[in-house]
Structure 1
Amino acid sequence: MPLIRRRALLTLPLATAAIPARAQDAWPNRPIRITAPFAPGGSADTLGRLVAQELQTALGQSVVVENRPGAGGVLGSLAVARAAPDGYSFVISGIASHVVAPAINSAAGFDPIKDFTHIAFLGGPPTVFIVNNNIPARNLAEFVALARGGQRFAFGSPGAGTHGHLFGIAFMNAGRFEMDHIPYRGAGAAMGDIIGGSVPAGSITLSSAAGAIRGGQVRALALTTATRARAFPDLPTFTEQGFPDLAAMTWFGLSGPAGLPAPIVDRLNREVVRAMALPRIRDRLEADATEAVSMTAAEYTRFIETETARWAPIARAAGVRAE
């Protein structure tokens, strides 16, 4: 056998063996899981599924959203924090899971900055304060008057330590009255009891309450946007009704374990920003007054730090406990 031919045969298995190795390095080459650390039906779940559908198309791989509620978002977030930083495990991060829970729960098991790679801001809806139709209040002034006049209200939220819970505390502090908080495992469960009348009021994300508001099943008293939402032009804001410091929103983003490779982070950020700018996505979000803001990964990380400085002290002072 000629020498050149023998060398070709000897090198052929080596070249062939290198092909699977290169294929394994391509990302993504298997299904991706996004954990929504709250119950189905809430804003985290809704936004997660919207972005998952777009990522699935863009990346050419199945992107599955898995609901894993518990402990104010800690259970699902902790699972992702402990996952391998290989680009296949992500979490819908948010104020409850990545600001409040670590601030009030020393046993949370993760640092919201050091133990995650924050990738992209998804956006979020404002909070709306709603009452059951049997409550006679038609605006905040009337509700506060009832609360100060001796009527003890309870308000429901999507869970202890969620933005709805914290905002209810902020509303009580600003209005100088007291309410009893009833935490639920998600906004859907809270809405059911508010509509049914077993809970008179609620501090709920607008995206979760919008259908009941439009259907006349509950009465919306105020929205936390700085200006009125285009989708609800007749709904006044807290600012309009004498509470200028109560402008805020529930927010969510996409995060993964610490140490994610920069190329994966950059690719995901680009795809999320592109997806959230699509007219069909913006129209879907606008219907619930949800605002999508474009942020780089670094900007989203700084945003979480800023929100921590605002809300963590309120949670600690109120003795909030995640459930």
Structure 2
Amino acid sequence: MKTANNLIKTGLRCLIAGAALVSASAGAQSNYPNKPVRIIVPFSPGGTADMLGRLVAQKLTESMKQTFVVENRGGAGGVVGSDLVAKAAPDGYTLVVSGVASHAIAPTLSKKMPFDPIRDFTHIALFGGPPSMLAVHPSVPAKDLKSFVALAKSKPGELSYASPGNGTMGHLAAEQFKQLAKIDMTHVPYKGAGPAVADLIAGHVPAASNTLSTMSSHVKAGKARALAVSSKARVEEFPDVPTFAELGYPEMVATIWFSLSGPKGMPQDIVNRLNAEVVKALQAPDVREKLKPEGIETNNMDAKAFTQFVAAELKRWAPVVKASGAQVD
């Protein structure tokens, strides 16, 4: 009897201790964040990833009453900075601006990936991103996408197009379009979006596949002619530029999306709170106004749906990457 009572007392003590630990853990999480949070942008300053990361960091700093610090760690198309976060503690204090380049394209592009884009991350929230735009130099006689396809078919392999580089979304979007339209164009890869656009407007290449945000000012200035964009619907800033989908290419709905992720194993309540705060931030009128010229559509996807989206994008782009023959190793 005495042994039984001792066992009961020991069991009660364990239950009380366990409850205290759970309570302490919940309390710690409910106080999140209680110190500055790092958001790693795995690209150089000045690009879309950097702009979105800083916009969201500012809003999270305001709403969560704690500093969210952006730190640029570029390299290998977003892989270097992302790998740093994949190996960080899953406490919510080290996050990364993830995206299609690092988490959907790079895993197929490289045979030496240091992380698994699904297994090694907690995917939190989708920011969105600009669509791709196919544009030509004003000297090109094709005035629309249909006549451009006809021109390309009349000169197999003679037309060239610029992109920001091998394996970039600009490259892959153009390669997918080539497959769908059954045309042959020569890819001219550049080291970044800026040089690719510079050679387009100088007339050194007849066409370019790049982000709308990079092409925007040049199209408005008449230095380039936009033929189509890869968004679901026409972009408000360019109402006269049709989408690939409405021109008969429904597979060409895509954006160069960016997002917020953390290391695997983050507490779900922290993930849910960050997701809610990011969604709220992206809906803020001043943020939407800043994103409008970029053609970026925001969303209210929860963390679970966003994780499924990343997996679907990984599956979507793998065959396009393989067909393009692009590699980085």
- Report the TM-score, using the length of structure 2 for normalisation: 0.83
**Structure 2 counterpart of 1:284:** 290
Given that residues 29 and 269 in structure 2 are in contact (C-alpha distance below 8 angstroms), is that contact kept between their aligned partners in structure 1? no
SS at 2:246's partner residue? coil
- The alignment status of 1:316 with 2:316, answered yes or no, reads no
Q: What is the CA distance between 1:231 and its match in structure 2?
A: 2.1
Alignment partners' CA distance in 1, 2:172 and 2:85 = 25
Aligned CA distance change for structure 1 residues 158 and 33 (closer, same or farther; 3 Å): farther
Q: Confirm whether residue 228 of structure 1 aligns to residue 234 of structure 2.
A: yes
Which of these residues, 59, 68, 84, is aligned with residue 64 of structure 2?
A: 59
Query: Which residue number corresponds to residue 36 of structure 2?
Result: 31
Name 2:79's counterpart in structure 1.
Answer: 74
* 1:153 partner amino acid: L
Note the C-alpha offset of 1:25.
9.7
Q: Which moved more, 1:101-110 or 1:128-137?
A: 128-137
> Residue 33 of structure 1: SS of its match in structure 2?
strand
Which structure dedicates a bigger proportion of its chain to helix? 2
Using the TM superposition, give the Cα deviation of residue 185 of structure 1 relative to its aligned residue in structure 2, in angstroms. 4.4
Structure 1 counterpart SS, 2:252: coil
Residue 43 in 1 paired to residue 43 in 2? no
Quickly say closer, same or farther: Cα 1:152–1:30, change in 2 above 3 A.
Answer: farther
Structure 1 portions without partners, runs of 5+: 1-21
Q: Distance in 1 between matches of 2:38 and 2:202?
A: 35
Counterpart CA distance in 2 for 1:41 and 1:158 is 15
**Paired letter, 2:69:** V
**More deviation in 269-278 or 179-188?**
179-188
| Cα distance, 1:24 vs structure 2 | 11
Q: What is the CA–CA distance in structure 1 between the aligned matches of 2:67 and 2:138, rounded to whole Å? A: 43
The equivalent residue for 2:186 is 180
1:138 — aligned with what? 143
Cα distance between partner residues in 2 of 1:165 and 1:68: 23
The alpha carbon displacement at 1:73 in A equals: 2.0
What is the CA distance between 1:248 and its match in structure 2?
2.0
TM-score, structure 1 as length reference: 0.85
Residue equivalent to 2:170: 164
Q: 1:271 to 1:321 in 2, by over 3 A?
A: same
- Residue in 1 that maps onto 2:129: 124
Of 78, 97, 101, the residue aligned with 2:102 is 97
Structure 2 unaligned runs (5+)?
1-26
| Root mean square deviation of aligned Cα | 2.4
The change in CA–CA distance for 1:73 and 1:160 in structure 2 (over 3 A counts) is farther
Structure 2 counterparts to residues 292-307 of structure 1, below 5 A: 292-307=298-313
Contact 2:29–2:270 (CA under 8 A) maintained in structure 1: no
Aligned length: 302
Task: State the 4+ residue runs in structure 1 displaced beyond 6 angstroms.
Answer: 22-25
Residue number in structure 1 paired with 2:21: none
1:266 and 2:272 matched: yes
Identity of aligned residues (%): 49
Contact kept, 8 Å, 1:38 with 1:185, in 2: the verdict is no
Q: Deviations over 1:76-132 (max 9, x none)?
A: 211211222232222111111101111232211100011111000111221111122
Counterparts of 1:202-213 in structure 2, within 5 Å, are 202-213=208-219
The answer to whether the aligner puts 1:241 opposite 2:250 as a matched pair is no
Q: CA deviation at 1:234?
A: 0.8
**What CA deviation, in whole Å up to 9, does each residue of 1:204-253 have, x standing for no partner?**
12122222222222211111123322221111122333323322222111
